[in-house]
A = this chain, B = another copy of it.
């Protein structure tokens, strides 16, 4: 939960959607100089945005009591820009929450806050151990879909996967360089690959997540 934002004038001009959202939900925003922003943050590449966070975040168990239909689970995702973009995309497609599992980046990292463009204020973002998340999701009847590049995985557009998308469903996205750990992919209800038609080996994590999450949202919209 973001309690207060400190932003520099440059960041205020640049990150307008973030500030508009903060204002809309009643979060206090204070303009500060670059020097004050730097002194509030211990990062080596200051973003001009510092968030004061309260420690009363919700957790996955609480999210699961609300009967979610669509979740994004980031496993060991280290790039804060990617994490923030997935949070923004999850919000846009109407997902119920984002889970940062394992060694994933802190959602309140300033680069993540910026990339989320305000969606951190809208959407529950919870942390969890990866194994615990997998078993909690299973216990709650949420199917898990592991994204993979393996040629023998199911095609996103296959009838089998499209049927699963009706939900409730959780997409598991792995680290930018290494993908999902084999043990995590093996535990999932399905292993899904986005068909690649060109010469690229893979997609950027945030682009892959956008494709999978949007496909799910479209499918669930058609059902409802």
Contact = CB atoms under 8 A, between A and B. Distances in A.
Contact of A207 (B16, B118, B122, B210): B210
A197 interface: yes
Chain B CB within 10 Å, residue with most, of A118, A123, A204: A204
B17 A117 contact: no
A221 B221 CA distance: 23
A210 B221 contact: no
A62 B90 CA distance: 39
B94 A197 contact: yes
B218 A88 contact: no
A204 B115 contact: yes
Nearest to A222: B157
Interface string A185-204: 00000000011111111111
A218 B157 contact: yes
Contact of A17 (B21, B201, B206): B201
Interface residues of A, number: 45
Contacts of A200: 88-89, 91-92, 117-119, 122
A114 to B, nearest CB: 11
A188 to B, nearest CB: 21
A211 interface: yes
Nearest to A85: B204
A93 interface: yes
B206 A85 contact: yes
A217 interface: yes
A122 to B, nearest CB: 4
Contacts of A207: 85, 88-89, 92, 206-207, 209-210
B88 A203 contact: yes
A69 B21 CA distance: 39
A93 B198 contact: yes
A80 interface: no
Interface of A: 14, 16-17, 20-21, 45, 81, 85, 88-95, 115, 117-119, 122-123, 157, 177, 194-204, 206-211, 214, 217-218, 221
